[in-house]
Amino acid sequence: MLPAPLTSVRLQRRHGDRFRVGCAEVNGWRPSMEDTHVVVEAEAAGLFAICDGHAGADCAEFLRQALASRMADMMTLEGARSAFKAIDEEYWAHRNPMSLSGSTCVLVAVPAGRDAEQPPAIVAHVGDSRAALVDLRDGALLRGAPLTADHSPGRPDEAARIEASGSAVHWVQGIARVDGGLAVSRAFGDFDYKVRGAVTADPEVQRVELWPMYTALVLYCDGAIEGSLSDAGLAALVTAEMRNSGDAALAARAVCLEAIRTGSRDNVSCMVVLQAPLGTQGAEEELEEQHLPQLADPLLRAAHKTFCSRCSPSCVRFSAPIPQRVGGIIYPVGSPYPASAAPSESVAHSVRLPGNISSHRDSPPLGAPPTDCNRPLAETSNAPSQSASTGRQSRSAK
């Protein structure tokens, strides 16, 4: 863990014929950024994904290219299942043999079509990254919950499959883990857990009717809700920022910064997708750099340098002001909030002040251990530990 969270924000905006997309990612407390995302719009079809790596970024980086290259296969239920399996096999063949990396993934594929002829979107996922539909009229989650259900070893159906394979589910500090190690039961990579079939890259897939114009599709890694920010609170954040700025990237940014402020010790990535084209096509990238005096620590500076290396040559970089407020958002007076979607108490209900970023005054104490991660807590320290069922030494990972 870093001595303090790195809150520089990488923003990406893409707008095409059908979709307006905003992405944000924050390194947070982790030594390096292991998340990646995919945005492709081609011939009136769209592919959107977030991949949350662990034990290194190798697997998530591989997925960034592999998922985009199989966009056509993702447009049907069976096609998505087959594509996930094939990509996992490709990663096995091309991975660094010394790498133990894995990654979750949540993906939404939107086939080409218009109005009554529009086929349903395909939602496929492995692991605990999530997709949700947010009603921008009132900030509520459509269906009342995310579209996806986490693949946790503690889920009864997942636990039954794991135990049938000959492996076991152990609870470590309140977190269900495969053989006392991995905290997700489905993922790309993680091949040491696939020898007996305890972990699989077989996705859960579903059809979802294309969301209406007043609705946002939001994809996010588990780091977004690892602290006290809930799914409903996340939906409220997105809605408030869309009211204030209409900018999907700033809505995603608000989620990332509020997640860190409310206790997440993970990398955080968020994507907001709207069926609201701007009438022009284009893409842009920005890096909002953390105020430099906060980067005096050499570990923070090294992490910041690595994070900045993810940016393209066309990225516009600017320094953020000294943080004063919360989450890039201050909610308008009288904005209609569902009671279940109320933001954290420290968020002021007043007009938005431009240029503000997250404050960490309410963050957990520096050096406190992460509350959740996909690899065991023991693996986030330098001390070796033994898996309860296999006896193998745990490894450093996310």
Give the per-residue pLDDT at 319.
80
Q: How far apart are CA 218 and CA 24, in angstroms?
A: 12
**Residue type present at position 52:** D
* Domain-embedded: residue 365: no
Q: How far apart are CA 246 and CA 169, in angstroms?
A: 44
Q: How far apart are CA 22 and CA 316, in angstroms?
A: 15
Give the pairing type, strands 130-135 and 215-220: antiparallel
* Domain-embedded: residue 42: yes
146 HSE (CA, 13 A, CB side): 21
Alpha helices in 221-289 (DSSP H): 231-244, 248-261
Nearest to 271 by CA among 237, 239, 248: 248
Q: How far apart are CA 58 and CA 94, in angstroms?
A: 11
**CATH number for the domain including 225?**
3.60.40.10
How far from the centroid of its chain's Cα atoms is residue 248's Cα?
15
Q: How far apart are CA 134 and CA 362, in angstroms?
A: 27
Q: What residues have CB less than 8 Å from 284, skipping those under 6 apart? A: 12, 13, 314, 316
* Domain-embedded: residue 396: no
Nearest to 274 by CA among 12, 22, 95, 4: 22
Q: What residues have CB less than 8 Å from 322, skipping those under 6 apart? A: 291
How far from the centroid of its chain's Cα atoms is residue 32's Cα?
15
* Domain-embedded: residue 133: yes
Strand order in the sheet with 20-28: 140-141, 130-135, 215-220, 268-274, 20-28, 6-15, 282-289, 316-319
Please say whether the beta carbons of 199 and 186 come within 8 A. yes
244 HSE (CA, 13 A, CB side): 25
* Domain-embedded: residue 394: no
Blockwise average pLDDT, block size 10, the chain, 398 residues: 93 92 97 97 94 97 98 98 98 93 98 85 98 96 96 98 97 97 98 95 96 93 97 97 93 96 97 82 89 78 93 88 37 31 31 27 31 40 32 33
Specify the length of the chain in residues: 398
Q: How far apart are CA 26 and CA 226, in angstroms?
A: 14
* Domain-embedded: residue 106: yes
**Residue type present at position 27:** N
Give the per-residue pLDDT at 388.
31
Q: Quickly count helices (H) and strands (E) in the chain.
A: 6, 16
Give the pairing type, strands 282-289 and 316-319: parallel
Structural domain count, the chain: 1
- The β-bridge partners of 141 are 134
* Domain-embedded: residue 149: yes
The residue assigned the tokens 């993970």 is 266
* Domain-embedded: residue 383: no
Question: Residue 44 sits in which domain range?
Answer: 6-341
Cβ of 298: how many Cβ atoms within 10 Å?
9
Cβ of 277: how many Cβ atoms within 10 Å?
14
Q: What residues have CB less than 8 Å from 116, skipping those under 6 apart? A: none
